[in-house]
């Protein structure tokens, strides 16, 4: 049995066309397992998570924008920003990081991608941890960059670890990914049936067609 994810191509989508003849005698659970395997192959080929997922990442806090130093400007602020700025000054703003970039993001079609942050924990290099509340996230995560921007005043020294548990992925699956998943699933089914079963489909050509589609989805 394959692992449990929502495949890029559903059972209904796979069986509504000519590929349905390949699995006409198979039950839905078996075909879904093949679709899940094909989905993982799509992710393996692109080096990206594509189907909806939940994961935990750990990042090292590093890099401070020059315009975020406490003495770089004297701009009007609202009450929350003023309190955050005062707290940051008390802690030593020049050593506090405010940015984090999640590994998983939308390579294409960010409007179809969705994030949901479950928890963020700061693990400091000298000991101690802090949970970050949603109210302390100034902006993000942004689907096209994975950028997460923390509110001014969070005690996040350089070299701390930022542990983020979040959900993401394409909530609406782009049609090209559905097609690639179909090709890979069909190729796997034909190989499973074996050379003695004439299906009229070339598994190697199906695999090549899938890789051609996925070449536009390789992330950097």
Task: Assess whether 162 and 81 both reside in one domain.
Answer: yes
DSSP 133: P
Nearest to 46 by CA among 194, 170, 191: 170
Task: Assess whether 74 and 109 both reside in one domain.
Answer: yes
Give pLDDT tens digits for 45-100: 898 899 999 999 999 887 666 555 444 445 454 555 455 455 545 555 545 778 88
For residue 39, pLDDT over 90 is answered with yes
Task: Assess whether 103 and 41 both reside in one domain.
Answer: no
Task: Assess whether 156 and 69 both reside in one domain.
Answer: yes
Task: Verify cis geometry, omega within 30 degrees of 0, for the bond prior to 200.
Answer: no
Query: Averaged over 169-183, what is the pLDDT?
Result: 92
DSSP SS3 for 54: strand
Task: Assess whether 181 and 204 both reside in one domain.
Answer: yes
Nearest to 117 by CA among 104, 105, 100, 134: 134
* pLDDT at site 126: 73
For residue 218, pLDDT over 90 is answered with no
Alpha-carbon distance of 119 to 121, in angstroms, equals 7
Task: Assess whether 159 and 179 both reside in one domain.
Answer: no
Q: Per the domain annotation, does 60 fall within a domain?
A: yes
* For the ranges 13-22, 37-46, 56-65, 124-133, the one whose mean pLDDT is highest: 37-46
Task: Assess whether 99 and 124 both reside in one domain.
Answer: yes
Q: Per the domain annotation, does 212 fall within a domain?
A: yes
* For the ranges 84-88, 185-189, 194-198, the one whose mean pLDDT is highest: 185-189
Reported pTM: 0.77
* pLDDT at site 72: 44
Query: Averaged over 214-219, what is the pLDDT?
Result: 82
Unique residue bearing structure tokens 């602020």: 77
For residue 127, pLDDT over 80 is answered with no
Q: Per the domain annotation, does 142 fall within a domain?
A: yes
Q: Per the domain annotation, does 61 fall within a domain?
A: yes
Mean pLDDT score across all residues of the chain: 80
Task: Assess whether 44 and 57 both reside in one domain.
Answer: no
Q: Which range marks the domain in which residue 203 is found?
A: 16-51+173-217
Q: Per the domain annotation, does 6 fall within a domain?
A: no
Instruction: Read off the tokens for 68.
Output: 């975020």
For residue 104, pLDDT over 50 is answered with yes
For residue 124, pLDDT over 60 is answered with yes
End of a domain among 130, 148, 168?
A: 168
Decide if 151 contacts 137 (C-beta within 8 A). yes
Query: Averaged over 143-157, what is the pLDDT?
Result: 84
Task: Assess whether 67 and 162 both reside in one domain.
Answer: yes
Alpha-carbon distance of 186 to 64, in angstroms, equals 49
* For the ranges 28-37, 78-87, 208-217, the one whose mean pLDDT is highest: 28-37
Question: Total structural domains in the chain?
Answer: 2
24-32: list long-range contacts, CB under 8 Å, 24+ apart.
Answer: 31/185, 32/2, 32/7
Task: Assess whether 82 and 178 both reside in one domain.
Answer: no
Q: Per the domain annotation, does 144 fall within a domain?
A: yes
The least confident of 29-33, 73-77, 170-174 is: 73-77
End of a domain among 135, 152, 168?
A: 168
Task: Assess whether 163 and 119 both reside in one domain.
Answer: yes
End of a domain among 127, 146, 168?
A: 168
Q: Per the domain annotation, does 10 fall within a domain?
A: no
Residues 6+ apart with CB under 8 A from 64: 94, 95, 96, 97, 98, 158
For residue 200, pLDDT over 80 is answered with no
Task: Assess whether 47 and 60 both reside in one domain.
Answer: no
* pLDDT at site 94: 47
Q: Per the domain annotation, does 3 fall within a domain?
A: no
């Amino acid at each position: 049995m394959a692992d449990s994810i929502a495949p890029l191509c559903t059972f209904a989508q796979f069986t509504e066309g000519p590929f349905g003849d390949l699995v006409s005698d198979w039950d839905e659970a078996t075909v879904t397992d093949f679709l899940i395997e094909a989905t993982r192959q799509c992710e393996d080929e692109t080096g990206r998570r594509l189907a909806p997922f939940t994961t935990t990442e750990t990042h090292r806090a590093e890099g401070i924008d020059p315009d975020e130093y406490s003495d770089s400007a004297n701009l009007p602020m609202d009450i929350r920003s003023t309190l955050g700025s005062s707290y940051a000054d008390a802690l030593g703003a020049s050593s506090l990081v405010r940015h984090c970039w999640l590994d998983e993001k939308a390579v294409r079609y960010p409007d179809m991608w969705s994030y949901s942050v479950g928890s963020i924990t700061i693990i400091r290099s000298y000991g101690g941890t802090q949970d970050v509340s949603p109210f302390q996230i100034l902006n993000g995560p942004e689907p096209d960059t994975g950028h997460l921007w923390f509110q001014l005043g969070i005690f996040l020294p350089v070299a701390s670890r930022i542990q983020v548990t979040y959900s993401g992925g394409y909530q609406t699956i782009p049609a090209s990914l559905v097609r690639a998943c179909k090709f890979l699933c069909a190729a796997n089914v034909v190989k499973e049936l074996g050379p003695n079963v004439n299906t009229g489909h070339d598994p190697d050509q199906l695999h090549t067609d899938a890789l051609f589609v996925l070449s536009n989805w390789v992330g950097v």
